[in-house]
Amino acid sequence: MGVVISLAWREYTRFIRQPHRVIGSIGQPLLFWLFLGSGFTGSFRPPGMEGVTYLEFFYPGVLMMMLLFASIFSSITIIEDRDQGFLQGVLVAPVPRMAIVLGKVAGGTAIAMLQSLLFLLIAPFVGISLAPASLAMVIPILILTSVGFTSLGFLLAWGMRSTAGFHAVMMIFLMPLWMLSGALFPITHVPGWMHWIMLANPVSHALTLLRLPFHAMPGQVVGDPEFAVSLAVVLAWALGCLYLSMLRVRRVERGVPVSSSN
Amino acid sequence: MIDIRNLSHTYPGTRKQPPRAALRNLDLSVREGHFCILSGPNGSGKSTLFRILCGMARPSGGSVEIAGHDLSRDPMAVRRLLGVVFQSPAVDKHLGVGENLAIHARLYGLRGTEAALRREEALEWSDLRNRLGDRVDTLSGGLARQLELAKCLMTRPRVLLLDEPTTGLDPSSRRNFLDVLRRVQRERSMTVLMTTHIFSEAEDADFVAILKDGVLLAEGTPQRLREQLGREVVVISPRDPAALADRLSAELGLTPLRHGDELRLDEVEPAETLALLERILTRYRPEIHSISIKQPALEDVFIHITGGNGIKANGANGGNGS
């Protein structure tokens, strides 16, 4: 446990000491939200969602984007750690391999939470109302989703040798996960093929979980059958990626077995 | 302390490259409390062996035991007694010296006053005591290496592995690093296995092993290895090494070894070296920049054993004997 905290602390400290990163990670989603939200508000009229402005609709989607980007940055630090040598010192240390995964994921999640909390703090000033009870529900959902994202990033980045290669993964795999999560447009009015992809996308389910407290009180949310299904999917996603990451870290480069010379 | 038995490692091939054997049936033992130097030309398998020893690669065959623990069966037990200094830095250069030491302590389960005591102990010999708050990327190369060593010593390893730890250091920093390493190693009777291709570093080792093409070519104390070579070497620096080598073998029946721009004659009877030098000098004076008789150093043993053309005379080989 000490190992996990200490590795996570390192991630967090490094982040906090780079003011550009802090400002960029808050500013970018804020601008996205402001520009896209304001731009689409005039034309966003999906049936059944009258009275919801695009700014309101997009708000949880932007929170999701923050988690995604926090995960991407955290994954890039894995590649840098390997490249700059820090990782080799951790790998030869007597620490359980799971602690290496959890340290990174906890660090990435802590950073994502700092960003989301700042974004949640400004909610009342931009016309998004969230009751304290709902807020208390949103936070654990954000944490769980962030664990899912960061451990997915971990799994993808572990074997990579260059950050340039990771950009490709980010653009053709991670970004679409977010785009097809219902963050930008509701899942209800898309072509059939896309509907299925979106249903299979764990990020859609994370977003479902996240949206519910914005529209209903926690009591109602928990009773919603959609909530139970989505929670199960997101839990499976997070735990599955954590487990696979551990297996990945445990795997050591192996020589070709000797056939005859022995 | 370190027992390597019949160790083989073959890297898997790719579409363009066939599988490549880096280690072939290697046997090597390092006794407890010994300072052992592992040397060999580039591509000899040193780094592969090092990666296997610190558990970052699993060998194709054979076994490694460290302090009685089988490396593949009980890696955790081995990691607990192992300290590793890598060739490239293994610290976070964005964090401070003290912060890096703190993380390292936690990785090895040290905390609180115990960690603080160990830190003091590990920094005692270093020049880092006033630099604890400084970021690692502000340290000089020599200090950064001291940090790597201090970090490892803090966990009091019984076995310390070092992979070309002095690469990139100036001669005085290198000397300083090795002096500290040797002193601490003796004080704690720590077992040390260090790879290097700088032979002046091996002169006071307890044991030297020379590797080439994944095979152990020679092992023993530096003294014994030097004796293997006979007593003296004639070193010639000619204008045209290739031409002179041909003439020496055709006209005098000698077998010179070419090493960079030098020719070496090292299979000469001790009593004959001076006469040989005179003979060569009278015959080929205009062809020769300089000629000398040299007491064999480990580097000469290495050149002799690995066949001379294994390493090019590059800037890294600083400490040539006289």
Q: Determine contact: B11 vs chain A, CB below 8 A.
A: yes
Output the pLDDT for position B322.
32
A121-153 pLDDT tens trace: 888 887 888 888 888 899 999 999 999 999 999
Q: State yes or no: pLDDT of B279 exceeds 70.
A: yes
CB pairs A-B closer than 8 Å: 105
Output the pLDDT for position B315.
33
Q: Strand, helix or coil at B196?
A: coil
Q: How many CB atoms lie within 10 A of CB B255?
A: 10
Q: Cα(B179)–Cα(B251) distance, rounded to whole angstroms?
A: 48
CB-CB neighbors (< 8 A) of A253 in chain B:
51, 56-58
- pLDDT classification of A243: cutoffs 50, 70, 90: very high
Among the partner residues A92, A257, A261, nearest to B79 by beta-carbon distance: A92
Q: Are B10 and B21 in contact (CB under 8 A)?
A: yes
Percent of chain B predicted with pLDDT > 90: 27
Q: State yes or no: pLDDT of B225 exceeds 90.
A: no
Model ipTM?
0.83
Q: State yes or no: pLDDT of B314 exceeds 60.
A: no
Element (H, E) at B22: strand B20-30
**Adjacency order of strands within the sheet including B207-212:** B82-85, B159-163, B191-195, B35-39, B207-212, B215-220
Q: Which residue of B has its CA nearest to A88?
A: B90
Q: Determine contact: B59 vs chain A, CB below 8 A.
A: yes
Higher pLDDT, B298 or B107: B107
CB-CB neighbors (< 8 A) of B9 in chain A:
255
Exposure of B214 by Cβ count < 10 A (0-12 exposed, 13-18 middle, 19+ buried)?
buried
A34-90 pLDDT tens trace: 898 888 888 888 777 777 888 888 889 999 999 999 888 888 999 999 988 899 999
Min Cα–Cα distance to chain A from B116, Å: 16
Q: Cα(B191)–Cα(B53) distance, rounded to whole angstroms?
A: 13
Q: Strand, helix or coil at B285?
A: helix
Higher pLDDT, B145 or B201: B145
DSSP β-ladder status, B191-195 and B35-39: parallel
Min Cα–Cα distance to chain A from B315, Å: 25
Output the pLDDT for position B231.
67
DSSP A207-226: HHHHHHHHHS-HHHHHH-HH
- pLDDT classification of B108: cutoffs 50, 70, 90: very high
Q: Cα(B52)–Cα(B248) distance, rounded to whole angstroms?
A: 44
Provide the token pair at B45.
Answer: 């398998």
Mean pLDDT score, B282-307: 81
Q: State yes or no: pLDDT of A8 exceeds 90.
A: yes
DSSP B107-160: HTT--HHHHHHHHHHHHTTSS-GGGTTSBGGGS-HHHHHHHHHHHHHHT--SEE
pTM of the model: 0.82
Mean pLDDT score, A90-94: 93
Residue tagged 């490694």 (tokens): B64
Q: How many CB atoms lie within 10 A of CB B16?
A: 5
Provide the token pair at B108.
Answer: 């090895």
Q: Strand, helix or coil at B229?
A: coil
CB-CB neighbors (< 8 A) of B106 in chain A:
2-3, 5-6
Cα torsion B175, B180, B183, B186: sign? negative
CB within 8 Å: B89 and A85: yes
Cα torsion A8, A11, A13, A19: sign? negative
Q: Cα(A134)–Cα(B169) distance, rounded to whole angstroms?
A: 59
- pLDDT classification of B276: cutoffs 50, 70, 90: confident
Position A169: which residue type? V
Q: State yes or no: pLDDT of B207 exceeds 50.
A: yes
Among the partner residues A6, A256, A257, nearest to B103 by beta-carbon distance: A6
Percent of chain B predicted with pLDDT > 70: 94
The chain-wide mean pLDDT, for chain B, equals 85
CB within 8 Å: A261 and B25: yes
Among the partner residues A2, A91, A94, nearest to B111 by beta-carbon distance: A2
Output the pLDDT for position B230.
66
**Residues of A engaging B, defined by a Cβ cutoff of 8 Å:** 2-3, 5-7, 10, 13-14, 17, 84-86, 88-95, 252-258, 261-262
Higher pLDDT, B225 or B117: B117
Q: State yes or no: pLDDT of B105 exceeds 90.
A: yes
To test the contact with chain B by mutation, choose from A4, A5, A76, A86 the residue with the greatest count of B C-beta atoms within 10 A, namely A86
Mean pLDDT score, A242-252: 92
Min Cα–Cα distance to chain B from A164, Å: 21
Q: Cα(A146)–Cα(A140) distance, rounded to whole angstroms?
A: 10
Mean pLDDT score, A97-108: 94
DSSP β-ladder status, B233-238 and B288-294: antiparallel
A166-211 pLDDT tens trace: 888 888 999 999 999 988 888 888 888 988 999 899 999 999 999 8
Q: State yes or no: pLDDT of B196 exceeds 90.
A: no
To test the contact with chain B by mutation, choose from A81, A92, A261 the residue with the greatest count of B C-beta atoms within 10 A, namely A92
DSSP chain A: -HHHHHHHHHHHHHHHT-HHHHHHHHHHHHHHHHHHHHHHHTT---TT-TT--HHHHHHHHHHHHHHHHHHHHHHHHHHHHHHHSHHHHHHTSS--HHHHHHHHHHHHHHHHHHHHHHHHHTGGGGT----HHHHHHHHHHHHHHHHHHHHHHHHHHTT---HHHHHHHIIIIIHHHHHTTTSSS-GGGS-HHHHHHHHH-HHHHHHHHHHHHHHS-HHHHHH-HHHHHHHHHHHHHHHHHHHHHHHHHH--EEPPPP-S--
Percent of chain A predicted with pLDDT > 90: 45
